[in-house]
């Protein structure tokens, strides 16, 4: 297959994510706003999906320090419901890849989004993703997401973030030296809360009102191993027809990867369980690296009681 980056300036992030995918491939990019990974102006055959028109996005970011030319014409408006229902029926199953950069963590119903992506992508296609690594971002203190919470959101057909999600995001979000994301392994010695005390409960009460507007949030928190386990466990539960092709950490803030259609196959249940245990052990190693940035090699007290 032709080099997708020929005649384009080098971009290690894009080149890794789109390796082997030519600019002529049929692509869907979700919610790129002013940071498209595969802009049409660079020759990519991209269908742009967003929650508003280009004019609406220009108005939204009018006061932001961005290049307005980076906001592209929106081809498909998605303002609610299932993503694939926003497309003409004849386009289902025709796209070579769906690109979701810092999108999956925002989905109130992650399973519904993954199902829509599968409806849009060819059987030999990809879901290309970038996700914030919770260890190096404002999600620092929130635990990695396990499959049960995602299954419950799907069971509830959640279209908005629940009050608990909004409370936790505001109550426990932190910055490091004023930044919401930082380098992998950076010493977390100057963390500060991102929001004043009391705001989380105020937001919780507002979200509990039936007439409240939609409020965005990070519904889910991931590390490379926890996301890989999540996709495996959702597939095992019969609600996800994807498998992880590869996942790679980066030097800061995020990790990158691709999914392929079809569930991962194992010779037997023992092999499956070995892989799940391997991923849980890798999550433990990730956690050790994570917490060492906060406490170093400090040993826990023999008395585990927390002093006031």
Tokens for 48, please give them. Answer: 């742009």
Find where tokens 């809360």 sit. Answer: 193
* Residue 102 within a domain: yes
Full domain range(s) for residue 287: 80-156+219-295
* Residue 290 within a domain: yes
* Residue 20 within a domain: no
What pLDDT does residue 6 have? 58
* Residue 69 within a domain: no
Which CATH number fits the domain that encloses residue 253? 3.40.50
Per-residue pLDDT of the chain (308 residues; tens, 9 = 90+): 445 455 788 899 999 999 999 999 999 999 988 889 999 999 999 999 999 999 998 888 888 888 888 889 999 999 999 999 999 999 999 999 999 999 999 999 999 999 999 999 999 999 999 999 999 999 999 999 999 999 999 999 999 999 999 999 999 999 999 999 999 999 999 999 999 999 999 999 999 998 999 999 999 999 999 999 999 999 999 999 999 999 999 999 999 999 999 999 999 999 999 999 999 999 999 999 999 999 987 766 666 555 55
CA distances from 122 to 23, 26, 91, 107 (A): 16, 10, 10, 22
* Residue 5 within a domain: no
What pLDDT does residue 2 have? 47
Q: How many domains does the chain have?
A: 1
* Residue 241 within a domain: yes
* Residue 234 within a domain: yes
Q: Are 117 and 127 in contact (CB under 8 A)?
A: yes
First to last CA, the chain: 62
CA distances from 160 to 30, 109, 166, 215 (A): 18, 8, 10, 7
What pLDDT does residue 35 have? 86
* Residue 227 within a domain: yes
Tokens for 170, please give them. Answer: 């505001």
């Amino acid at each position: 297959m032709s080099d997708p980056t020929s005649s384009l300036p080098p971009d290690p992030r894009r080149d890794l994510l789109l390796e082997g995918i030519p600019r002529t491939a049929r692509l869907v990019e979700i919610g790129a706003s002013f940071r498209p990974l595969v802009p049409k102006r660079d020759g990519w055959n991209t269908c742009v999906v967003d929650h508003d028109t280009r004019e609406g996005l220009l108005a939204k970011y009018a006061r932001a320090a961005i290049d307005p030319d980076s906001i592209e014409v929106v081809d498909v408006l998605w303002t609610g419901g299932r993503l694939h229902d926003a497309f003409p029926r004849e386009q289902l199953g025709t796209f070579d890849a769906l690109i979701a950069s810092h999108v999956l963590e925002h989905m109130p119903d992650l399973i519904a989004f993954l199902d829509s992506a599968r409806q849009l992508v060819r059987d030999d296609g990809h879901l290309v993703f970038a996700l914030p690594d919770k260890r190096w971002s404002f999600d620092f203190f929130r635990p990695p997401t396990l499959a049960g919470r995602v299954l419950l959101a799907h069971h509830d057909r959640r279209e908005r973030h629940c009050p608990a999600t909004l409370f936790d995001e505001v109550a426990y979000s932190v910055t490091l030296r004023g930044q919401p994301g930082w380098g992998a392994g950076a010493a977390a010695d100057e963390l500060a809360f991102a929001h004043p005390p009391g705001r989380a409960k105020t937001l919780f009460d507002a979200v509990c009102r039936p007439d409240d507007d939609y409020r965005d949030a990070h519904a889910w928190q991931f590390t490379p191993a926890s996301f890989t386990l999540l996709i495996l466990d959702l597939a095992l539960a019969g609600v996800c027809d994807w498998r992880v092709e590869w996942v790679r950490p980066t030097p800061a803030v995020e990790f990158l990867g691709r999914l392929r259609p079809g569930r991962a196959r194992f010779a037997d249940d023992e092999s499956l369980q070995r892989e799940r245990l391997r991923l849980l052990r890798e999550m433990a190693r990730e956690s050790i690296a994570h917490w060492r940035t906060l406490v170093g090699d400090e040993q826990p007290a023999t008395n585990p009681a927390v002093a006031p």
